[in-house]
């Protein structure tokens, strides 16, 4: 593999920082050409000094009108120009590591400009699945979109060994989050501080809350449906508290392939960056003797009803998944701000979905309109449940 130019959208986040760590580990393989962040200008400037990209953008927060003098080598945008950076940057690969549906336009713009998409940002695929998959068809037999989410990377890795055989089942593993063993009433009353104590993964705050509510796994069911073109009923969620089996695929003959590793995102991040090659990611292999056991449980729809909503939204079609995603973004934000307890997150999402159903999803504008409507309805419901 020759040197690849990479742009990192969301470089100050958990995935963004780990992506840059891997770039620094293999300077002969990666050249960082663009960086964006929504906040934390200080860290963004440090990253610009270290990686010397040609373009950078602070997409949110307090606008920085005058960037520091020592980054004058870099074209710096102080306003929300995510899409423009995705389009204009000189990069082979676009690591989309922003959080939320904000990544959708940029992903499509980057793809249109010929970049290969390394997709961590699952909300983009949940909201705009059909648009994104249409834009990311194979080119000359090569993928133009590679998943970064650990479960989907695991499935992708297993698929390398599937040959022409049809996959009959996808087993999506879930750690179960911090409330795995809690009673329903305790989960419903849980607050943000309790939800942020994830047992196995260290991640950004929104996805950590999603893992506690199980909406993360709901989003991942939808993500898997689009990435692997399987029917929703072929996707089964399995609770696996050790987070060592990252996911599995099953075949008609009864065989199952799994991908294993310690829970560390640097593996799927670097694999997306180097596919189909493997390089040293700095992550050791699991110590199986110390682990002693790997366990699996069925998921419990009574205590974690979010998963059922994912299957319902997929069944509804249209922009129902965009509605689910937008309502969940609103509810997760309110939960993070300590405005509601965990039980209300599900209520906001399920009532928004029931109210809006499946709006048109035929174009980017239609999907973004469904997203806007869902946010408005979710905010109304939020005010009612808060009262």
Chain residues that interact with ligand NAD, rule: CB under 6 A: 10-16, 37-39, 59-60, 82, 97-100, 102, 120-123, 149, 201, 203-204, 206-207, 265
Which residue, 237 or 370, is less far from Mg ion as judged by CB?
A: 237
Q: Report how far residue 175's alpha carbon sits from residue 245's, in angstroms, rounded to the nearest whole number.
A: 10
Q: How far is the CB of 80 from ligand NAD (least distance, A)?
A: 7
Phi, psi of 142 (to 5 degrees): -110, 140
Between residues 10 and 53, which has the closer beta carbon with respect to ligand NAD? 10
> Taking CB within 5 to 8 Å according to partner kind, which of ligand NAD, Mg ion, none is near residue 110?
none
d(CA 340, CA 102) in angstroms, rounded, equals: 24
Q: Whose Cβ is closer to ligand NAD: residue 120's or residue 370's?
A: 120
Strands of the sheet containing 4-9, edge to edge, are 75-77, 55-58, 30-37, 4-9, 93-96, 116-119, 145-147
Taking the CB of residue 93, how many other CB atoms lie within 10 A of it?
21
Sheet holding 235-239, edge to edge: 256-260, 245-251, 167-174, 235-239, 297-298
Report in angstroms how near the CB of residue 255 gets to ligand NAD at its nearest.
27
Neighbours of 306 (CB within 10 A): 23
Residue 122 interacts, among ligand NAD, Mg ion, none and using kind-specific CB cut-offs from 5 to 8 Å, with ligand NAD
Contact partner at residue 111 from ligand NAD, Mg ion, none, CB < 5 to 8 Å by partner kind: none
Closest residue to bound ligand NAD by CB: 13
> DSSP state, 282?
S
Q: Does 123 bind Mg ion (CB under 5 A)?
A: no
Q: How many residues bind Mg ion (CB under 5 A)?
A: 3
Residue 339 Cβ vs ligand NAD, minimum distance, rounded to whole Å: 19
Helix (H) or strand (E) holding 222: helix 215-228
Q: Which of 93, 149, 223, 351 binds Mg ion (CB under 5 A)?
A: 149
Q: Which does 327 bind (CB under 5 to 8 A by kind): ligand NAD, Mg ion, none?
A: none
CA distances to 16, 99, 340, 358 from 41, in Å? 14, 17, 30, 39
First CA to last CA distance, the chain: 58
83 vs 210 by CB, closer to Mg ion: 210
Q: In terms of C-beta distances under 8 Å and separation of at least 24 residues, what long-range contacts does 62-70 make, across chains too?
A: none
What the block records as the tokens of 367 is 């999907």
Question: Which is nearer to Mg ion, 12 or 175 (by Cβ)?
Answer: 175
Least separation, in Å, of the C-beta of 321 and ligand NAD? 15
- Closer of 158 and 368 to Mg ion (Cβ): 158
Contact partners, residue 291, CB within 8 Å, separation at least 6: 242, 244
Stretch that binds Mg ion, among 107-115, 151-159, 178-186, 256-264 (CB under 5 A): 151-159
Q: Which is nearer to ligand NAD, 18 or 350 (CB)?
A: 18
Assess 210 for contact with Mg ion (CB under 5 A).
Answer: no
Residues 103 and 47: their CA atoms lie apart, in Å, by 21
Select from Mg ion, ligand NAD, none the partner in contact with residue 201, using the beta carbon and a kind-dependent cut-off of 5 to 8 Å.
ligand NAD
371 binds, among ligand NAD, Mg ion, none (CB under 5 to 8 A by kind): none
Q: Which residue, 151 or 329, is less far from Mg ion as judged by CB? A: 151
Is the Cβ of residue 82 or residue 370 nearer to ligand NAD in the bound state?
82
SS3 245: strand
Q: For helices 41-51 and 14-25, what crossing angle results, to 10°? A: 20
Q: Minimum CB separation from Mg ion for residue 324, in Å?
A: 17
100 binds, among ligand NAD, Mg ion, none (CB under 5 to 8 A by kind): ligand NAD
Q: Considering only 68-76, 149-157, 193-201, 361-369, which stretch makes contact with Mg ion by CB under 5 A?
A: 149-157
Angle at alpha carbon of residue 10, lines to 72 and 145, rounded to 5°: 115
CB of 219 to ligand NAD, least distance (A): 7
List strand residue ranges (DSSP E) for the chain, in order: 4-9, 30-37, 55-58, 75-77, 93-96, 116-119, 145-147, 167-174, 235-239, 245-251, 256-260, 297-298
Stretch of 28-36, 147-155, 170-178, 310-318 contacting Mg ion, by CB under 5 A: 147-155
Q: Tell me which residues touch Mg ion (CB under 5 A).
A: 149-151
């Amino acid at each position: 593999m020759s040197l690849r130019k990479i742009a990192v959208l969301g470089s100050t986040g958990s995935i963004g920082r780990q992506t840059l760590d891997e770039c620094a580990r293999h300077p002969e393989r990666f050249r960082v050409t663009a960086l964006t962040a929504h906040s934390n200008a200080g860290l963004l400037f440090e990253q610009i000094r270290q990686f010397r990209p040609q373009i950078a953008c602070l997409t949110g927060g307090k606008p920085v009108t005058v960037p520091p003098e020592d980054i004058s080598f870099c074209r710096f945008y102080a306003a929300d120009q995510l899409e423009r950076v995705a389009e204009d940057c000189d990069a082979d690969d676009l690591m989309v590591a922003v959080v939320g549906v904000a990544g959708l336009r940029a992903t499509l713009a980057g793809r249109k400009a010929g970049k290969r998409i390394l997709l961590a940002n699952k909300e983009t695929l949940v909201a705009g699945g059909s648009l994104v998959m249409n834009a990311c068809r194979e080119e000359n037999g090569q993928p133009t979109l590679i998943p970064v989410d650990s479960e989907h990377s695991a499935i992708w890795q297993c698929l390398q060994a599937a040959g022409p055989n049809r996959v009959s089942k996808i087993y999506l593993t879930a750690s179960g989050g911090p409330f795995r063993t809690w009673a329903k009433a305790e989960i419903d009353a849980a607050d943000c501080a309790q939800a942020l104590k994830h047992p196995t993964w260290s991640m950004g705050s929104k996805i950590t809350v999603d893992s506690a509510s199980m909406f993360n796994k709901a989003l991942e069911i939808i993500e898997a449906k689009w990435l692997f073109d399987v029917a929703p009923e072929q996707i089964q969620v399995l609770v696996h508290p050790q987070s060592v089996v990252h996911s599995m695929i099953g075949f008609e003959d009864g065989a199952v392939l799994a991908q294993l590793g310690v829970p560390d995102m640097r593996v799927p991040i670097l694999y997306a960056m180097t596919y189909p090659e493997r390089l040293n990611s700095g992550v050791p292999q699991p110590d199986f003797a110390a682990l002693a056991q790997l366990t699996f449980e069925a998921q419990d729809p009574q205590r974690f009803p979010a998963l059922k909503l994912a299957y319902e939204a997929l069944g509804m079609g249209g922009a129902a998944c965009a509605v689910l995603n937008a309502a969940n973004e609103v509810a997760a934000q309110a939960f993070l701000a300590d405005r509601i307890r965990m039980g209300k997150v599900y209520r906001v999402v399920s009532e928004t979905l029931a109210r809006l159903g499946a709006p048109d999803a035929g174009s980017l504008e239609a999907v973004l309109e469904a997203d806007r409507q869902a946010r408005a309805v979710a905010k109304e419901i939020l005010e009612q449940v808060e009262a």
